[in-house]
Chain A
């Protein structure tokens, strides 16, 4: 796909809730040749760390954002020029016909760039930098902005020029701006902190509308990141972000800034607790049958497929099976409506090493995978999570999540739901315990059994305790009486 005109590379949208990304590394420098889809740079967002491939073949004409900088989605990062093209000035008007390749992989040579005039897929312009607090009063003269007024203006994205000042010389006082913010002027942009996690559009007519990745059909080839679809409503530029307040280190303390992923986790976890009515139900599972089956399948799976049938794969399979009768566990609340899904996009929480964070890649249409398929998919996403090879699509559209702290020996937990899902299953450690069972003659005896706790946190707004317990009961039955031929 040799480019015939300059193409802009923009910060891709890495998920509906992601509003910015950090350039971690440029893999090509200015003047270097690059092939289509060849990795151009690495970026880090609060959802995923990934490479951004070149949208076309050519030469890296210009790098506009340096390593370490964090910019909004849609910000122009670099320009790829046709090979051999004169190094044009940055402002060279680029019609950018390839900017919106849509699903169409056909390289359409555009002899007449003019014909491509409308640029529907043009990314939104980068957010204007926060206005330095230098408003003018009615007479157009500059008036003093006190530190507290500047801070409030910055936090709320208020243009001080719009606030009627009542202080000395028409100065905007703290009261003036607080009144302005509280009365909610029509032009007031949304509060900055809410922006990165903009709510999903409420009740779209088609289930596939908000997130193409969530469509029931398996999505086609992963779309190159640079051509990722623009955010649903590119109209409003993101509001300026307030600078985090610096924190003073006390004696014996060290202070470090949160990275994008940590900020994302912090915001999401808090928001989830504020959104859902969390309840956790715990079930004890006798895993004897699964253990026996796994021991039997393991050599075969490893030899034939090079994959390990993990307990997690068994549990994922049994969970998806149980959802058939208890679909609300896999549903979503959208506005005042319950959205049920005929597919399961299974999120698997993967911890990054050294407490660096948590990522939840999603196995799309997991309901269509058998035990082998799930084992493979889990191994694949875990591997790619740790190697930073996930595509943006890989972390979007989950409908249910499984988290697995049992690997470290945890035996009980109350996980927090990943919004907008309504349930999350916590897989605990497999522990041998003495349990009371019945022998063949119906007598109670104490036996040593491999036991595991499964903890389901669910959103009581939608899922009641009895419903959750019945789902869990079925999940337990699936595991305790695993039918090899059925899965």
Chain B
């Protein structure tokens, strides 16, 4: 065990998978010589050589399309989008080809697409988005959103070994901010199993990614008011752990669904709907969604702060439910 940042954990996990399995290679813009926009693959080319750490041209379509072909031929590619926002360029390759190949032809497409996502540092509308729900809607893709260094490493390993296309959303705001002990060896964190980040009795927060930490701070605020908050970190959205969510709802009967993505069509709507369908008679208050407003992400630090759910916003929502 050693203390690692979220970013170091991703880097460590990727390196171990590449050492373990020669079929694993990395491709992306500036991932080789430069070591990646965020230095996740720093020094990778020195260890694994230019054929396994490939600098790609500025074409997400080519990156994902090439990965898909390589995967069909038996490789286990890991693509890096410099920013998750750019994945829209690869939409067709991902949605039309990779997601449906197994269904059409029976061939697995074991690709992992790393997607540095999220805001909080004035990245503006092209470098701050959280497009997970767009892809959660596409059958055939898996969606992973780690919140902790340990999960970041374990979920990356699971993503690489999974026979399906996996979108691995790594939150940029967690890269160097979150540090924790991470096991040194290889390990896998299973998909579809939520993590109870914090146990509580009065209100449940269902969330993932960076918002786990926002919820954590809000929960600490409410502790002083005698409100006990349970935080469920979904870890993966496809598949997502309905059982854990419904169990928590049955316990607390009050739920906040929290995400950094915009409200309309956000994955929180799916969770809220599932709770309404399957745990209606366990609810003691309406399911509350806390999310970004339906606008692009603003540049201005003041506006961005108003845009991304903050600790005080979450605390206010929790209080409202606690007092309901």
Contacts and interface: CB of A to CB of B under 8 A. Distances in A.
Given A147-B280, A151-B282, A167-B323, 19 more contacts: A146-B253, A146-B283, A146-B284, A146-B285, A147-B281, A147-B282, A147-B283, A147-B284, A148-B281, A148-B282, A148-B283, A148-B284, A151-B281, A167-B324, A168-B323, A171-B324, A173-B284, A174-B284, A245-B281
Interface string B269-303: 00000000000111111000000000000000000
Contacts of B284: 146-149, 173-174
A167 B282 CA distance: 16
Report the contact-size class of chain A (Cβ under 8 Å from the partner). 10 to 19
SS of B interface (majority): loop
Interface string A142-153: 000011111100
Interface string A426-443: 000000000000000000
A321 B324 CA distance: 69
Nearest to A154: B281
Nearest to B252: A174
Contacts of B253: 146, 148, 174
**How many B residues touch the partner, as a band?**
under 10
Contacts of A174: 253, 284
7 contacts: A146-B283, A147-B280, A147-B283, A167-B323, A171-B324, A173-B284, A174-B253
A206 B233 CA distance: 64
A interface secondary structure, majority: helix
B40 to A, nearest CB: 41
Nearest to A151: B281
Nearest to B254: A174
A159 to B, nearest CB: 18
Interface in B247-272: 253
A233 B75 CA distance: 78
Interface of B: 253, 280-285, 323-324
A276 B324 CA distance: 46
Nearest to B283: A147
A168 B324 contact: yes
Interface in A94-151: 146-151
Contacts of A171: 324
A253 B285 CA distance: 33
Interface string A168-188: 100101100000000000000
A418 B176 CA distance: 67
Contacts of A146: 253, 283-285
Contacts of A245: 281
Interface in A223-246: 245
A168 B254 CA distance: 14
B226 to A, nearest CB: 12
A461 B308 CA distance: 65
A149 B280 CA distance: 11
Contacts of B283: 146-148
A173 B254 CA distance: 11
A171 to B, nearest CB: 7
- Max chain B C-beta neighbours (<10 A), residue from A151, A171, A174: A174
Nearest to B323: A168
A149 B283 CA distance: 8
A462 to B, nearest CB: 40
Contacts of B323: 167-168
A322 B323 CA distance: 68
Contacts of B280: 147
A23 B280 CA distance: 33
A173 B253 CA distance: 10
Nearest to B282: A148
Name, among A148, A171, A173, A245, the residue most crowded by chain B CB atoms within 10 Å (CB to CB): A148
